[in-house]
Structure 1
Amino acid sequence: MASHGPELFNYSDPNACTLPYQLTKQIHRDVYPLLEPTQPELSAKGKTVFITGVSGGIGKAIAESWATAGASGIVITGRKVDVLESVATSLKSLASPDTKVLAQAADITDEASVAALFGAAKEAVGKVDVLINSAGSLEGGLVGTTDPKKFFSDFQVNVLGTYLVTHHFLAQADGTGTVVSFTTGAIANVFPGMGGYTASKTALTRIMENLHAEQPKIRVFLLIPGIVHTGMTVDSLKPYAKDRPGLSASWTLFLSAPRAEWMRGGIVSVNWDIEEMEAHKDEIVRDNLLGRAFLNAKLGKNGRPWS
């Protein structure tokens, strides 16, 4: 796929910002039957999950999906105490009575705050099995004209914050567990005004690729949430923000299940059709189409021309 700027999009098409990134011919923008959180294959029974960024719409949907899927323990964090308390109330109504829920505000860019949070998590739910790094920052700003502190605030959250949470997760993981980190399809292009964001997400992607290579018993995945209408969505993309938060949420359940084992270490998009991917599993694995090589995977409106 060519790495041009947003001029490659036809902005009169509501799917214009989604279609250039498709690996599969079939695309999804909302939860479909295979990804319903009530599916037995997606059951979270016996699993504990730790979710960052729950002050945002995607994080809230993830927490609710894990409650619906029967997780034994759910830890949620973000910066907004009132939002966390509201989500915790929702989780208790969705989850089984014996599901343990911890909602605690934290600054993931501060190691002491992260360490305290994991200490509280250990007391509340025991060992955390699954980490979902959904917290993110998109400040925006042009290179050279944006205050450096503001420009690098995306790195503080997207790189340092995610690293600190992952570091403390691994310290208690006993060498096994699942890490799902959110990235973006925007790392494939140059978007003026989004340099800090796309650069930080590219750095995060490389860190997670290293984790996959260095700790083979840790199941690592990178997830592109599509374009979801949240507080982070830039105005120019809001007309194209058609992807539902629940789709990302269900994908985190899927990636934590054995069926996703062959996707480990890869970048996947919530828009891609799972069954079509499975039909071409051998080609995807052979050509490493879920690694950063996905940028050369001939993505487009009709998906990859499979061999």
Structure 2
Amino acid sequence: MDYSDPDAFTLPYQLTKQVRRDVYPLLEPTQPGLSAKGKTVLITGVSGGIGKVIAESWATAGTSGIVITGRKVDMLKGVATRLRNLAPPGTKVLAQAADITNEASVAALFAAAKEAVGKVDVLINSAGSLNGGPVGAVDATKFFDDFQVNVLGSYLMTHHFLAQADGVGTVISMTTGAIATVFPGMAGYTASKLALTRIMENLHAEQPGMRVFMLIPGIVQTEMTVDALKPYAKDSAGLSGSWTLFLSTPRAEWMRGGIVSVNWDIEEMEAHKDQIVHDNLLSRAFLNAKLGRDGHPWT
């Protein structure tokens, strides 16, 4: 691998020849095709960089109701103020701190959400944990913190979302391209994200009324970004925000149950939709597609 290449950790996971690293016209949140009017959304991890920008994208797209949660109360209040300024008049905004690894806290969050915005249509599991360190060198409790947030937390959020969804809704869970490889020092993170991916695949198979997607946000400069990847953190958090809007539209229906990356070009994917579906290239695509610098060799 050429580590001097700014795309060194992006190209190995590239399905399309076109690499996207920032919002492009098709994914502008103001674009009518991405309108969130009439939809309510709940986003976790809004204390962090990606979750905050996802929330801003939904507000810009005119969502009818938005619930944001995280652990940093002061930051949530600041984000809520910005969302009210971005969103159309009448948009309902709820900012409530919660510990997603605690079921009582999650239950209280959904009770507050019901009162504030009614039924939640879209759940975005954006909260994440990354505790680095080699296997055996990290305290066991710290190692499994990643599982607590990435697996248990996302499961509890999904469990309570399903309980109020009446069998219909959209669940988008953030995953990582790193589940496709061995990344020394990130075993807890990659293993927990791989476990979450399998849970989401099961949800897709078990509940046909649920629109389930797993989204790779690329490499974004946030507090979670490990030092080794900071030189390669060239992706806009806005891409994740716009992709969550896109995945909530009928145009993304054929991608249901799949793993998709913000770095992939949507129109190129659509041009090869039949092959992607036939060859099952989005189902843990790392096993089914020939990812790389020039994208999958389309036939």
TM-score range relative to shorter protein: over 0.9
Aligned length: 299
Structure-1 residue corresponding to 2:70: 78
133-142 or 293-302: bigger deviation:
293-302
Deviation at 1:294, TM superposition (A): 3.4
Distance 1:229 1:16 in 2: 16
Distance 1:76 1:216 in 2: 27
The answer to whether 1:92 aligns with 2:84 is yes
In angstroms, what is the RMSD of aligned CA positions?
0.6
2:52 counterpart SS class: helix
In 1: Cα distance, 2:285 partner to 2:260 partner: 12
Residue equivalent to 2:100: 108
Aligned to 2:214: 222
Partner residue, 1:4: none
* Structure-2 separation of matches of 1:145 and 1:60: 33
Identify which of 8, 15, 18 aligns with 2:10: 18
Q: Secondary structure at the match of 1:219?
A: strand
User: What are the equivalent positions in structure 2 for 1:25-64 lying under 5 Å apart?
Assistant: 25-64=17-56
What's 2:262 paired with? 270
Taking structure 1 as the reference length, the TM-score comes to 0.97
Structure 2 residue runs without a partner (length 5+)? none
Instruction: Output the CA distance in 1 between the equivalents of 2:17 and 2:31.
Output: 24
Whether contact under 8 Å (1:288, 1:294) holds in the other structure is no
**Aligned twin of 1:185:** 177
Q: Give a deviation string over 1:250-307, Cα, whole Å, max 9, x none.
A: 0000000000000000000000000000000000001100001433311000101111
Cα separation, 1, equivalents of 2:285 and 2:241: 25
Whole-Å Cα distance in 2 between the matches of residues 177 and 222 of structure 1? 15
Distance 2:90 2:78 in 1: 19
Q: Unaligned regions of 5+ residues in structure 1, if any?
A: 1-8
Name the residue aligned to 1:305. 297
* CA deviation string 1:147-190 (max 9, x = no partner): 00000000000000000000000000000000000000000000
Which segments of structure 1 move beyond 4 Å, counting only runs of 4 or more? none
Taking structure 2 as the reference length, the TM-score comes to: 0.99
C-alpha separation in 1, matches of 2:232 and 2:285: 26
Contact 1:180–1:220 (Cα < 8 Å) also in 2: yes
Given candidates 103, 115, 119, the residue that maps to 1:127 is: 119
SS of the residue aligned with 1:83? helix
SS in 2 for 1:198: helix
Matched, 1:65 2:57: yes
Query: What percentage of residue pairs aligned between the two structures are identical?
Result: 83
The whole-number CA distance in structure 2 between the counterparts of 1:137 and 1:287 is 32
